[in-house]
């Protein structure tokens, strides 16, 4: 193999001090997404302060987020099942940066929360709150902290965060 | 199906920000690969291009835009993309173009120019999450890696020291790679003292964002034997996709990587990969991922890769199965699609005994390369041999 590889590194400074020419643009893209059937009901129930899942009788699986087709057996799912607004922390992180690498003093605590009443290992992504970040553990029991009913709009953000029970 | 060989390989340097455009990088890698095979573009029947999100470049349908840099002018052309898995997926597509009998030669080019995306290329990943159930929470890409790493560690009771040793090994290996962006001599302590970005992920456990390109030339058996005494055969290919409902499956183990590996091993006639694979290039965008993937590739039992690594099993010098002798994404750099193809290039050079200072010492006859991507859901695997 040749050691004479092409490619010319530039420094951030080359741009900041205008040592090199470049072009800038900000493409704009806007979307309005339909909820679909399953997530539409999911959001409606979030507004009511409840979590709802779909059941597949063939796979004996209660899945959340709900969907109208089970990806395992690829049949229509069979019925709606209310599940608890409690669960277990399956995994979590203490995140100290934003997507564009800005630093956060207080970490965000994203987690996968296994939902009580759904099949084992079936959870949703959300955030933990009302807890000392140092005390968060995998396997910890948590409960949803809801927005007041009059402020709920039918969004995953109707749950403010999940807190230890 | 016909036998297919790799007969040439080329890379650019991997850098944080290249002066060259994406097209110019594609040209440089393609030309280097053609030169190494002693061919010109006239000898190429078709072109396969791997490149990740259009959002990096801000050019919709960027593969069409890049095609003339990749030598595809008025040739059959195919673009493919499975996120980080792309760099090992592209040679699989090239393989069946030739294995099918449709074409005798194929130029496979993988490119990424991430630096154009402002203020940080991470922005291109924000839209991989579900727009209704996840994006309102404001997730960034580090979240899912941190969540997966923590699950892997919690399930097996692993320590941060065991994860950090991957960064130390790969950045050290990368010092001998002419493309490398981040080769370094570090200690486990250095890694653990680096900034915590998203616990348990530390800064030195993360691969950089990069600009770069790679290319390989594939040829049918008849053509390969005419052109080289040292063909490296693509003996097995596998790929597998899991569900996008990533919160409904246990992240501690990449089952889809195992399925892809089993598919490739079966095709290659490999029954006991730990004895029959002599060099491995598993995908290592984050330190824990190499361990995770060594397990998915069945080169270690579940939860045992960290222990084997600390015993030197995966070392380049005296290990039984040297892993990431190139220096991997952690050391060489991570221009997404090009980083995966860099692993295919590495196997090509290692199996031909042309890896220079990086040459593994166990006289390798078979190697495996693997990449991974999408929403923690795709495994792509290629087995190569001589
Ligand atoms: Zn089912």
A136-141, Cβ contacts within 8 angstroms, sequence gap of 24 or more:
A136/A89, A136/A92, A136/A94, A136/A109, A136/A111, A137/A89, A138/A89, A138/A90, A138/A91, A138/A92, A138/B150, A138/B151, A138/B154, A139/A88, A139/A89, A139/B154, A140/A88, A140/A89, A140/A164, A141/A86, A141/A87, A141/A88, A141/A165
Whole-model pTM: value is 0.97
Of B137, B141, B142, the CB nearest to A126: B137
Q: Which residue has the tokens 């060989």?
A: B5
Measured torsion, CA atoms of residues B331, B142, B345, B385, in degrees rounded to the nearest 10: 110
Of B32, B58, B130, the CB nearest to A25: B58
Q: Which chain A residues in 106-165 lie under 8 Å from chain B, judged by CB atoms?
A: 107-108, 110-112, 121-127, 138-139, 155-157
Q: Which domain holds residue B353?
A: 4-119+208-385
Provide the pLDDT for residue B327: 98
Q: Which of B329, B324, B382, B342 is nearest to B25 (CA)?
A: B342
Q: Residue B149: inside a domain, yes or no?
A: no
**Are A107 and A115 in contact, with CB atoms under 8 Å apart?**
no
Domain count, chain B: 1
Once rounded to an integer, what is the mean pLDDT over residues B210-215? 98
At A29, list the tokens: 């893209």
Once rounded to an integer, what is the mean pLDDT over residues B200-215? 97
**Are A99 and B140 in contact, with CB atoms under 8 Å apart?**
yes
What are the chain B neighbours of A20 within 8 Å (beta carbons)? 19
Q: Residue B170: inside a domain, yes or no?
A: no
Q: Residue B62: inside a domain, yes or no?
A: yes
Task: Inspect the interface and report whether the beta carbons of A96 and B58 lie closer than 8 Å.
Answer: no
Task: Inspect the interface and report whether the beta carbons of B356 and A27 lie closer than 8 Å.
Answer: no
What are the chain A neighbours of B143 within 8 Å (beta carbons)? 93, 95, 110, 125
Q: Residue B171: inside a domain, yes or no?
A: no
Measured distance CA(A155)–CA(A161) in Å, rounded: 13
Calculate how far, in angstroms, residue A41's C-alpha sits from the geometric centre of ligand 1. 20
Provide the pLDDT for residue B53: 86
Question: Residue B28 in 3-state DSSP?
Answer: helix
Q: Residue A124: inside a domain, yes or no?
A: yes
- Please provide the distance, in angstroms rounded to a whole number, between the alpha carbons at the two ends of chain A: 60
Chain B interface includes A99 (CB < 8 A) = yes
**Are B351 and B384 in contact, with CB atoms under 8 Å apart?**
yes
Cα three-residue angle B284-B212-B339, rounded to 5 degrees? 20
Q: Which residues face A79 on adjacent strands? A: A55
Once rounded to an integer, what is the mean pLDDT over residues B70-74? 96
Give Cβ neighbours of residue B305 (< 8 Å, ≥ 6 apart): B290, B291, B292, B294, B295, B299, B314
Measured distance CA(B273)–CA(B12) in Å, rounded: 31
Task: Tell me which DSSP letter residue B207 carries.
Answer: P
Q: Which domain holds residue A53?
A: 36-164
pLDDT at B11 over 60: yes
A115, burial (CB in 10 Å: exposed 0-12, middle 13-18, buried 19+): buried
Measured distance CA(B166)–CA(B330) in Å, rounded: 9
Percent of chain B residues topping a pLDDT of 90? 94
Q: Which residues face B48 on adjacent strands? A: B78, B108
pLDDT at B5 over 90: yes
Q: Residue B115: inside a domain, yes or no?
A: yes
B306, burial (CB in 10 Å: exposed 0-12, middle 13-18, buried 19+): buried
Provide the pLDDT for residue A28: 85
Q: Residue B185: inside a domain, yes or no?
A: no
Domain count, chain A: 1
Q: Residue B42: inside a domain, yes or no?
A: yes
Once rounded to an integer, what is the mean pLDDT over residues B284-307? 98
Q: Which of B86, B20, B110 is nearest to B285 (CA)?
A: B86
Query: Which residues of chain A are modeled with pLDDT < 70?
Result: 1-3
Q: Residue A73: inside a domain, yes or no?
A: yes
Give the count of Cβ contacts less than 8 A between chain A and B: 168
Task: Inspect the interface and report whether the beta carbons of A99 and B179 lie closer than 8 Å.
Answer: no
pLDDT at B379 over 70: yes
Measured distance CA(A156)–CA(B385) in Å, rounded: 50
In angstroms, the separation between the Cα of residue A5 and the nearest Cα of chain B is 5
Q: Which residue has the tokens 């040297």?
A: B322
CA atoms within 13 A on the CB side of B58: 16
The mean pLDDT value of chain B amounts to 97
The ipTM is 0.94
pLDDT band for position B201 (cuts 50, 70, 90):
very high
**Are A41 and A47 in contact, with CB atoms under 8 Å apart?**
no
Measured distance CA(B380)–CA(B138) in Å, rounded: 29
Alpha helices in chain B (DSSP H): 22-37, 54-57, 62-66, 86-99, 141-156, 160-174, 188-193, 221-227, 255-268, 273-276, 287-296, 305-310, 328-331, 336-352
Q: Which residues face A108 on adjacent strands? A: A95
- The CATH number of whichever domain residue B46 belongs to comes to 3.40.47.10
User: pLDDT tens, B101-143?
Assistant: 999 999 999 999 999 998 888 888 888 999 999 999 999 999 9
Q: Residue B258: inside a domain, yes or no?
A: yes
């Amino acid at each position: 193999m040749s050691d004479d590889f092409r490619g010319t590194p530039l420094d951030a400074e080359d741009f900041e001090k205008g040592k090199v020419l470049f072009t800038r643009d900000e493409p704009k893209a806007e979307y309005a997404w339909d909820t679909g059937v399953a997530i539409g009901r999911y959001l409606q129930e979030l507004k009511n302060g409840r979590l709802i899942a779909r059941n597949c009788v063939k796979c004996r699986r209660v899945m959340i987020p709900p969907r109208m087709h089970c990806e395992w057996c690829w049949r229509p799912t069979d019925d709606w099942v209310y599940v608890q607004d409690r669960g277990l922390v399956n995994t979590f992180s203490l995140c100290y940066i934003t997507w564009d690498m800005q630093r956060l003093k207080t970490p965000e605590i994203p987690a996968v929360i296994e939902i009580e009443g759904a099949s084992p290992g079936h959870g949703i992504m959300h955030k933990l709150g009302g807890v000392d970040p140092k005390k968060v553990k995998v396997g910890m029991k948590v409960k949803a902290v809801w927005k007041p009913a009059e402020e709920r709009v039918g969004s995953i953000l109707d749950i403010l965060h999940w807190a230890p029970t | 199906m016909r036998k297919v060989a790799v007969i040439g390989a080329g890379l650019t340097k991997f850098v944080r920000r290249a002066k060259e455009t994406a097209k110019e990088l594609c040209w440089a890698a393609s030309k280097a690969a053609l030169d190494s095979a002693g061919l010109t573009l006239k000898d190429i029947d078709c072109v396969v291009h791997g490149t990740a999100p259009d959002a990096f470049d801000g050019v919709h349908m960027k593969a069409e835009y890049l095609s003339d840099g990749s030598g595809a002018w008025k040739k059959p052309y195919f673009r493919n993309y499975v996120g980080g898995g792309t760099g090992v997926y592209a040679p699989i597509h090239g393989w069946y173009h030739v294995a099918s009998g449709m074409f005798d030669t194929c130029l496979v080019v993988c490119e990424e120019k991430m630096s154009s995306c402002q203020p940080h290329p991470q922005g291109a990943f924000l839209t991989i999450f579900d727009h209704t159930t996840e994006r309102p929470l404001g997730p960034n890409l580090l979240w899912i890696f941190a969540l997966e790493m923590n699950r892997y560690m919690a399930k097996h009771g692993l320590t941060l020291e065991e994860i950090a040793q991957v960064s130390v090994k790969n950045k050290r290996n990368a010092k001998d790679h002419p493309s490398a962006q981040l080769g370094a001599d570090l200690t486990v302590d250095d890694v653990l003292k680096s900034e915590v970005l998203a616990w348990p992920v530390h800064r030195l456990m993360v691969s950089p964002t990069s600009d770069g390109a790679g290319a390989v030339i594939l040829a049918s058996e008849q053509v390969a034997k005419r052109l080289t005494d040292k063909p490296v055969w693509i003996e097995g290919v596998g790929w597998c996709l899991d569900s996008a409902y990533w919160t409904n499956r246990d992240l501690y183990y990449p089952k889809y990587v195992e399925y892809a590996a089993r598919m490739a091993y079966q095709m290659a006639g490999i029954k006991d990969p730990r004895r029959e694979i002599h060099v491995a290039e598993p995908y290592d965008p984050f330190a824990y991922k190499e361990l995770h993937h060594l397990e998915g590739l069945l080169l270690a039992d579940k939860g045992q890769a960290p222990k084997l690594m600390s015993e030197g099993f995966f070392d380049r010098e005296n290990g039984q199965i040297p892993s990431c002798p190139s220096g991997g994404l952690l050391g060489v750099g991570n221009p997404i699609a090009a980083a995966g193809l860099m692993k295919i290039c590495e196997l090509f050079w290692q199996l031909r005994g042309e890896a220079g200072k990086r040459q593994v010492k166990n006289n390798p006859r078979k190697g495996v390369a693997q990449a991974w991507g999408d929403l923690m859901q795709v495994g792509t695997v290629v087995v190569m041999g001589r």
